[in-house]
Amino acid sequence: MDTNAAPKVRFAPSPTGYFHVGSARTALFNWLFARRNHGTFILRIEDTDEERGREEWVSGILSALAWLGLECDEGPYRQSERYALYADALTRLWDGGYLYACGCSHEEVLERTKGNQTPGYDGHCRELGLAREGRALRFRTPRDGTTVVKDVIRGAVEFPHRAMEDFVVSKANSSPLFVLANVVDDIDMGITHVIRGEDLLPSTPKGILLWKALEGSEVELPVFAHLPMLVNEKRQKLSKRRDPVSLEYYREQGYLPEAFCNYLSLLGWNHPLGKELMTMKEIVQSFSLEDVNHSPAFFDVVKLTHIDGEHIRRLDSDEFIARSSAWLDTVTVPWERHCFEMDTYQRIAHLVQERVATFGEIIPMVDFFFLESPVYDKVAVESLVGNETTQRMLTMALNTFSDCSWETDTLHETTAAMGNEIGLKLSKAQAPIRVAVTGRRVGPPLFESMVILGREKVLARLQAFATLVARTTPE
């Protein structure tokens, strides 16, 4: 193939479970490479295993890629619809003498190879000349020699054939297996760069053997790039079963897709100048496979969250309002939907935007605007009961706020004055008022919030809270 031609890459997931962050990373790197080099990004669903694939997983892949913003140029192709291609390849391989039929059961193979130095199939049927029909087909791996995988990230990796078994390329029911379908499609689609997880590195020499058997030993192979694994805190490959890795989870938590991609791009790759906070455009412009590093990376939610916060703060105000309110509309919120007031949200949004790291953090920060009475934080309330100054502050606030001018500065000054009167700094003086009005010790700036909430509601909440605290205050 012409290496000067526009590259073609594919993301080839198998629909066997929820879309997870490792897949997202692989998809992203393929997409970045394609965009950077003005190539083609193909989506290919590898669903040759009828027993495991499920339709909902396929739509999960599609919606995950859509959310991430990784639009594909071709596809989705589905291997389950391309069996004719694999059947043809199988026949060519059979006719060329590259395959043989195997009549051994899995149990038989295990039994025979139990004590061997090199487990895996022992070639028992290799010279038996069994008929093809109704049997699994194995590739006749050369006994001698070595297959070299030239990998942009890892250099030349050698696999001695003596350590490779005669692998199965098609099942007894004649359906193709991963290595076969994968290579046949890569050939058919003109894939120039194979970018995938490092867990596929050991199967690559098998693919190369097939590639050469199908296309001739002089064929120009695609460029391989095996990305370092994403691992959990125990440094194990991320697993759908034991790790919280569903992409949907992060979507529901209110992470920004562009922030998620930004973080993912930093796992195994880095900007030549060390820049960390980047737009998709910046990442595309500076991405290079040669800059991908070798070692596994831990998926760190803490740093992801920080990056997300940075992206949120960089959103312009209108976009923050539009996107966050749309998100709030899709998740469970503590207030009744009809109580959400867009104009109130618009007024408070800028104060929230600079305080949250994810959209999910917005909810406890604004809920008191849309609830009849605030959700009182138990610890916050307990810290105030039995405290004489709490009562005094509330009483003074009730009096003062009932007829002072209803502006941020005024509320600020009068609260400070009240505190001053009983020897409290503003930080202490505002505490009971904050809890009374918002239910919490932390939140957006209090006086702005009070102005937006309105005098009437504030006074009602102060009154209610004074009663609550009085009732629970020991005499």
- Choose, by CB under 7 A, the member of 236, 317, 395, 472 that binds RNA: 236
Closest separation in Å from C-beta 318 to RNA: 20
Closest separation in Å from C-beta 209 to RNA: 14
> Would you say how long the chain is, in residues?
475
Provide the token pair at 55: 């339709």
Where does residue 460 rank: exposed (0-12), middle (13-18), buried (19+ CB within 10 A)?
middle
| Subset of 309-338 contacting RNA (CB under 7 A) | 309, 313
Closest separation in Å from C-beta 474 to RNA: 25
CA 396 to mean position of chain CA atoms: 51
Q: How far apart are CA 361 and CA 365, in angstroms?
A: 7
70 vs 308, which CB is nearer to RNA? Answer: 308
| Subset of 39-98 contacting RNA (CB under 7 A) | 46, 48-49, 52
- Choose, by CB under 7 A, the member of 43, 200, 283, 362 that binds RNA: 200
- Choose, by CB under 7 A, the member of 104, 208, 247, 469 that binds RNA: 104
300 vs 336, which CB is nearer to RNA? Answer: 300
Q: Strand locations in 238-363, DSSP E? A: 297-298
Handedness of CA 35, 36, 38, 43 (dihedral sign): negative
Does 123 contact RNA by CB under 7 A?
no
Does 244 contact RNA by CB under 7 A?
no
| Subset of 392-451 contacting RNA (CB under 7 A) | 408, 412, 426-427, 430-431, 434, 441-448
Q: How far apart are CA 402 and CA 399, in angstroms?
A: 6
Q: How far apart are CA 151 and CA 18, in angstroms?
A: 29
**Contact criterion met (CB below 8 Å) for 416 and 352:** no
70 vs 264, which CB is nearer to RNA? Answer: 264
141 vs 182, which CB is nearer to RNA? Answer: 182
Q: Shortest CA distance to 42 belongs to which of 13, 20, 19? A: 13
**Contact criterion met (CB below 8 Å) for 169 and 140:** no
Does 270 contact RNA by CB under 7 A?
yes
- Choose, by CB under 7 A, the member of 114, 235, 241, 471 that binds RNA: 235
Binding part of the chain for RNA, among 65-73, 178-186, 244-252, 391-399 by CB under 7 A, reads: 178-186
- Choose, by CB under 7 A, the member of 185, 186, 198, 258 that binds RNA: 198
- How far is residue 438 from each of residues 95, 324, 382, 446, measured CA to CA in Å? 77, 21, 15, 8
Closest separation in Å from C-beta 145 to RNA: 13
Where does residue 36 rank: exposed (0-12), middle (13-18), buried (19+ CB within 10 A)?
middle
Closest separation in Å from C-beta 239 to RNA: 8
Closest separation in Å from C-beta 348 to RNA: 11
Place of tokens 């495991």: 52
**156 beta partners:** 150
Does 291 contact RNA by CB under 7 A?
yes
- Choose, by CB under 7 A, the member of 294, 318, 399, 421 that binds RNA: 294
Binding part of the chain for RNA, among 55-63, 227-235, 341-349, 368-376 by CB under 7 A, reads: 227-235
DSSP 8-state assignment for residue 439: S
Phi, psi of 336 (to 5 degrees): -70, 135
| Subset of 3-32 contacting RNA (CB under 7 A) | 12-14, 16
| Subset of 345-364 contacting RNA (CB under 7 A) | 354-357
Residues annotated catalytic, as ranges? 240
Does 177 contact RNA by CB under 7 A?
yes
Provide the token pair at 29: 């790197």
Closest separation in Å from C-beta 357 to RNA: 7
H-run or E-run covering 194: strand 193-197
